[in-house]
Amino acid sequence: MQVAMKGISKAFGPVKVLEGVDFSIVGGEIHALMGENGAGKSTLMKILSGVYTPDAGSIVVDGKPTAMRSTTDAESHGIAIIHQELNLIPQLSVMENLFLGREPQRFGVLDSKRMRVEAAIWLNKVGGSQIDTAREAGTLSIGQQQLVEIARSLSLNAQVLIMDEPTAALTDKEIDTLFQIMADLRSHGIAIVYVSHRMEEMFRICDKVSVLRDGHFVGERMVRETNFDEIVKLMIGRELQQRFPAREVEPGAVRFKVEDLADENKISHIHFEVRAGELLGVAGLMGSGRSEILRTLFGLRKKTSGQVRLDGATLDLRNPTDAIAAGIGFVTEDRKSQGLVLGMSVRENATLVHLSEYARAGIVNSQAENEAVHQLISELHIHTRDSELEVKSLSGGNQQKVVFAKWLAKPPKVLLLDEPTRGVDVGGKAEIYQIMNRLAASGTAIVMVSSELPEVLAMSDRILVMNEGRQAAIFSAKTTTQQQIMTAASGGL
């Protein structure tokens, strides 16, 4: 099968998102689509899968011009997509989600037995055999939900499979399984479009790479014949200075100390300390309880034992307000549902945490607020024309910087980061690392949970590895390896 998109243009209102983009794929290849946040990757793929109709241009399937009017249309042409945003119905069960829109039925009646059996089979294929098919999808972790989506797209038996950042919430173990599946599909002549901000993955699995910049097609390369720097240059239009900027300041005294932390069911026996200016990375498999540690430390979950000390004083954290008052900040893993009020402006989001700093007697001093916001915008290099823009109109990377801005109006003593660069492009990542370094330099103790091992290895001073809710090991980042961390995370040592 061969699919070619020719001269595709698309605008939302006055905003031109794509202009004359050409993109083609053939069966039996894995084709990476790269580009900065907001370059138009998802939009292009939504056009291919019938979610949007292009303003100009055509889609040619096996030589025949084809209109994709709806997702069902695209599916009938063998094109399936895993969307970047999770698209499960939280109240429906896993199997109902798997077959939504094409439920097996007999005489108009749902064939739930077939649904259950087939769902289990498909989940098995993607390494999600532990997921109960009758469980409500909303109760799964993000990573598990992503597996369900992958299983769903496989079950469509598509000829062209589009994966828009399928690994954003997965850890290495699941990614290995996914790549095996992808290789298998390729060998069966299926075409895969792979969108990701994780450069290592592209070099590991893809055959070809196309790059978009600012809605324009800027080039196609064979992966074998290119390298990291060339692709980054295509993407951002210049050389990237440093992928992982180094920290210059040495860690100071112990700032944050956690002893024997446990909650009701997810985590237990957590001990660690973080020095001022130090970054502690937390690695582990999906569902190993990394997020739970941070949520418990931020007062969102009840702890059943343990002590938390900040600068020597014992903290009693019952809710986020307590934690914030003590000087703890928390960047959550899901910026859309937990990090930002999407309908509010950049300004309002940026000052939400520390609004009272600019207020007297509950009345906000607009001038002080605006000044602070403008300073944050320039300090964090947030690309927004206007601080009054709704934050949902920013690109993913810039949204994430706004989440950081919320906490930086008054630098926190401890900053908890949960997947701080999920879905952010290389350039944006580098800028976020710089923000982290600057904070560390000013004495903040940072705890960073991340599923991207290169990031954990490069940015951390020490690395705590989680295994099934317990602390498996703490390594020094200088001396450890990816292999060592993976072994510890899977319970071997």
Partner 1 sequence: MSPLENAVLEKVHLPSGVTRLNPQRKALLQKLGPLVGLVAICIGLAFMSPDFLTIGNVMDVARQVSINAMIAFGMTLVILLGGIDLSVGSILAVSSVLMAMLLHAGHSSVLAVAVGILAGAFMGWVNGIVIAPGKVAPFIATLATMTLLRGVALVLSQGSPISDFSSDFFSMLGGGYFLTLIPVPVVSMLVVFALFWFVLKKTVFGRHVYATGGNAEAARLSGVKTDRVQILVYTLSGIMAAIAGVILTSRLNSAQPTAGAGYELDAIAAVVLGGTSLAGGRGWIFGTLVGALLIGVLNNGLNLLGVSAFYQQVIKGAVILLAVLLDRSDK
Interface with ligand ATP (CB under 6 A), residue from 251, 299, 396, 427? 396
CA-based angle 118:123:129, to the nearest 5?
Answer: 115
CB 366 within 8 A of CB 420: no
Q: Describe the crossing of helices 172-187 and 482-489 by its angle, rounded to 10 degrees.
A: 100
- CB of residue 215 to ligand ATP, shortest distance in Å: 7
Q: Which is nearer to partner 1, 29 or 136 (CB)?
A: 136
Closest CA to 385 of 422, 416, 353, 347: 347
- CB of residue 160 to Mg ion, shortest distance in Å: 18
Q: Hey, which residues between 199 and 218 contact ligand ATP (CB under 6 A)?
A: none
- Which residues, listed in sequence order, are joined to residue 471 by a DSSP beta bridge? 466
Instruction: Give the interface size with ligand ATP as a residue count (CB under 6 A).
Output: 35
Q: Which is nearer to ligand ATP, 40 or 127 (CB)?
A: 40
Q: Distances in Å between the alpha carbon of 181 and those of 30, 124, 456? A: 12, 11, 26
Query: Of ligand ATP, partner 1, Mg ion, none, which one sits near residue 143, judging by CB under 5 to 8 A according to partner kind?
Result: ligand ATP
Instruction: Give the chain's length.
Output: 493
* Tokens at 289, concatenated: 């309880």
Question: Given the rule CB under 5 A, which of 214-222, 286-294, 374-382, 461-469 is the region that contacts Mg ion?
Answer: 286-294
CA-based angle 95:97:103, to the nearest 5?
Answer: 75
- CB of residue 253 to partner 1, shortest distance in Å: 27
Instruction: Give the interface size with Mg ion as a residue count (CB under 5 A).
Output: 4
For 477, the 3-state DSSP assignment is: coil
Q: Is the dihedral of CA 229, 235, 236, 242 positive or negative?
A: negative
β 470-476/462-467 pair status: antiparallel
- Which residues, listed in sequence order, are joined to residue 415 by a DSSP beta bridge? 329, 446
Q: Please give the backbone phi and psi of residue 91, each rounded to the nearest 5 degrees, phi first.
A: -85, -15
Question: Given the rule CB under 5 A, which of 37-45, 59-67, 95-103, 294-302 is the region that contacts Mg ion?
Answer: 37-45
- CB of residue 463 to partner 1, shortest distance in Å: 21
Cα–Cα distance for residue pair 209/138, rounded to 1 Å = 34
Cα–Cα distance for residue pair 291/288, rounded to 1 Å = 8
Q: Hey, which residues between 89 and 118 contact Mg ion (CB under 5 A)?
A: none
- CB of residue 142 to ligand ATP, shortest distance in Å: 5
Q: Which is nearer to partner 1, 102 or 269 (CB)?
A: 102
Q: Which is nearer to partner 1, 76 or 481 (CB)?
A: 76
Interface with ligand ATP (CB under 6 A), residue from 37, 332, 460, 471? 37
Closest CA to 195 of 372, 4, 378, 39: 39
Binding of ligand ATP by 145 (CB under 6 A): no
Q: Which is nearer to ligand ATP, 167 or 451 (CB)?
A: 451
Closest CA to 153 of 114, 194, 117, 187: 194
Query: Of ligand ATP, Mg ion, partner 1, none, which one sits near residue 135, judging by CB under 5 to 8 A according to partner kind?
Result: partner 1
Please, how many CA atoms are within 13 Å of residue 475, restricted to the half-sphere of its CB?
Answer: 26
What mask of x and - would describe binding to Mg ion in positions 323 to 362, judged by CB under 5 A? ----------x-----------------------------
Q: Hey, which residues between 165 and 194 contact ligand ATP (CB under 6 A)?
A: 169, 171
Interface with ligand ATP (CB under 6 A), residue from 57, 128, 143, 281? 143
Query: Of Mg ion, partner 1, ligand ATP, none, which one sits near residue 284, judging by CB under 5 to 8 A according to partner kind?
Result: ligand ATP
- Provide CB contacts within 8 A for 148, sequence distance 6+: 88, 94, 97, 98, 123, 128, 131, 137, 140
Binding of ligand ATP by 452 (CB under 6 A): no
* Tokens at 48, concatenated: 């291919």
Q: Which is nearer to partner 1, 229 or 388 (CB)?
A: 388
Interface with Mg ion (CB under 5 A), residue from 5, 36, 68, 84? 84
Cα–Cα distance for residue pair 238/23, rounded to 1 Å = 23
Interface with Mg ion (CB under 5 A), residue from 145, 210, 268, 291? 291
Cα–Cα distance for residue pair 370/270, rounded to 1 Å = 41
- CB of residue 379 to Mg ion, shortest distance in Å: 26
Q: Which is nearer to partner 1, 103 or 311 (CB)?
A: 103
Q: Hey, which residues between 408 and 437 contact ligand ATP (CB under 6 A)?
A: 425
Closest CA to 172 of 469, 464, 484: 484
Q: What is the largest CA-CA distance in the chain?
A: 71
What mask of x and - would describe binding to ligand ATP in positions 282 to 321, judged by CB under 6 A? --x-xxxxxxx-----------------------------
Which positions lie near ligand ATP, rule CB under 6 A?
12, 15, 17, 35, 37-43, 84, 139-144, 169, 171, 266, 284, 286-292, 333, 393, 395-396, 425, 451
Which positions lie near Mg ion, rule CB under 5 A?
42, 84, 291, 333
